[in-house]
Amino acid sequence: MSKAVVSSLYDSDTFKMACRQFDQAADAINLPEEIRDRTKYPRRCVAVALPIKRDNGSVTVFEGYRVQHNLSTGPAKGGIRFHQDVTIGEVAALAMWMSWKCSLVGLPYGGAKGGVIVNPGLLSEGELERLSRRYMQELIPFIGPHVDVPAPDVGTNEKVMGWMMDTYSNHIGYNSPAIVTGKPLSLGGSQGRREATGAGVAYLVQRYLEDMKIPVTQATVAIQGFGNVGGETALALAAAGAKIIALSDYTGGVFNAGGIDVKKALEYVKYQRTLKDFHGGDPITNEQLLTLPCTVLIPAALERVITPENAPRLQCRLLAEAANGPTTNAADKIIEERGDIEVIPDVLCNAGGVIVSYFEWLQNLQNFYWDREDVMQKLFALLDKARDSVEYQKRKFKFGRRLAALTLGIQRVTDAKQSRGLFP
């Protein structure tokens, strides 16, 4: 039979990259041909036009998307990105990775992602609120606490989630905290959610350093991206005794061989918004940061920054993918052939975020709230379990770690789809 799915809608480098990863994993576990396209391609997508009244009285129409990749294993789950370079193909790839990630760590969710083409840094607070509310308003027919549960991603935060939760709750007429996760604590957010992704990255980095017999106190760390994930990762690793030698954001980076004072950098960014002109070290570019000699390299910004051009020049021992999709397929191959860098693949490395989002959703549905210690203990237990399963799969089939993680995630989604059967 010829293939029916032609996914020109999502055509983009990032979507192709996610598809290639899927194809490799599907081949590695001999996934039956008839289930492949059904598992690979997104189930639904919505594109919305978002007219916003600007502060000067004019109206701008922004474009936004929500892609629900998989709904077979529970409500869809995934963040909302506000960024000027968002495309529907990128959102679809991110939704696909959410499916494998939720499945890998054993959460009862499918995968989704949302995005709006906007530079939120150019909006006033009022404009950002109107855009956030409008986006949620347009999504209401397609989402719900048991259908699709958004969360923060690049360019969105607790405040945005609070506005979205309020918009949804006003629409349905009662308080519905479980519609989004990553909310402020005062609206039913979870203890530990803000730091969850970074804390999870830092925890896994320490577990892999132990395996590599490198004391964390002797580790040097370079982090690209100093937002929610990069900032919290830096803080947690510095607290564990690692030396953070480089940090960056979209304006460029800073390098200090003696170690950067992370708390000072965070304080600086709180008021200045970016690391530009931060005096904690010497200026470097984002590209220079990626190839610095260091123990741990942590991309924590956007996709496709580790490329065939810089992969041969990486000088780290451990590559911890806090961002989604930071390594292109070709770069991945180069790193695997080099054989001198351990990789913690994104679907495992940054899973702490969705794990604590799951805890937040559970607390909202039960109206029963946990303390921080409880949240963190449960987070690390789930990460350990996922890590153990990845290491077992890696050893058993002699896979690279990314392939091990992806095959586990994909197999579980496929099993669910096969058990449910095909609705006539």
Residues that bind ligand NAD (CB under 6 A): 152-155, 197, 224-230, 248-250, 286, 300-302, 322-324, 350, 353
How far, in Å, CA of 183 to CA of 163, rounded? 9
79: nearest Cα among 62, 61, 49, 102: 102
Looking up tokens 């309020």, which residue turns up?
166
Mapping DSSP to helix (H, G, I), strand (E, B) and coil, where does residue 224 land?
strand
How far, in Å, CA of 143 to CA of 66, rounded? 10
How far, in Å, CA of 92 to CA of 94, rounded? 5
Nearer to ligand NAD, 134 or 194 (CB): 194
Nearer to ligand NAD, 206 or 324 (CB): 324
- Respond yes or no: is residue 113 known to be catalytic: yes
How far, in Å, CA of 316 to CA of 269, rounded? 26
223: nearest Cα among 265, 188, 267: 265
Looking up tokens 């610095």, which residue turns up?
292
Residues across the chain: 424
CB 120, CB 153: distance < 8 Å: no
Q: Which two tokens stand for residue 116?
A: 């709006």
Looking up tokens 């000067």, which residue turns up?
56
We find the least distance from the C-beta atom of residue 75 to ligand NAD, in angstroms, to be 17
Nearer to ligand NAD, 110 or 230 (CB): 230
We find the least distance from the C-beta atom of residue 407 to ligand NAD, in angstroms, to be 21
Nearer to ligand NAD, 104 or 302 (CB): 302
Where is 112: in which H helix or E strand?
strand 110-117
Nearer to ligand NAD, 90 or 127 (CB): 90
CB 83, CB 155: distance < 8 Å: yes
Residue nearest to ligand NAD (CB): 227
Nearer to ligand NAD, 230 or 409 (CB): 230
How far, in Å, CA of 123 to CA of 92, rounded? 25
We find the least distance from the C-beta atom of residue 170 to ligand NAD, in angstroms, to be 25
113, 183, 243, 394: the catalytic one is: 113
We find the least distance from the C-beta atom of residue 354 to ligand NAD, in angstroms, to be 7
Nearer to ligand NAD, 26 or 198 (CB): 198
We find the least distance from the C-beta atom of residue 348 to ligand NAD, in angstroms, to be 11
DSSP state of 277: T
How far, in Å, CA of 278 to CA of 265, rounded? 7
We find the least distance from the C-beta atom of residue 176 to ligand NAD, in angstroms, to be 21
Q: Which residue type occupies 207?
A: R
We find the least distance from the C-beta atom of residue 324 to ligand NAD, in angstroms, to be 4
Nearer to ligand NAD, 127 or 153 (CB): 153
How far, in Å, CA of 415 to CA of 233, rounded? 34
Burial environment of residue 275 by CB neighbours within 10 A (0 to 12, 13 to 18, 19 or more): buried
We find the least distance from the C-beta atom of residue 412 to ligand NAD, in angstroms, to be 19
How far, in Å, CA of 177 to CA of 212, rounded? 42
Distance of CA 401 to the CA centre of its chain: 18
Contacts of residue 319, Cβ cutoff 8 Å, sequence gap at least 6 = 296, 297, 299, 306, 327, 335, 341, 342, 343, 344
Q: Which residues are catalytic?
A: 113
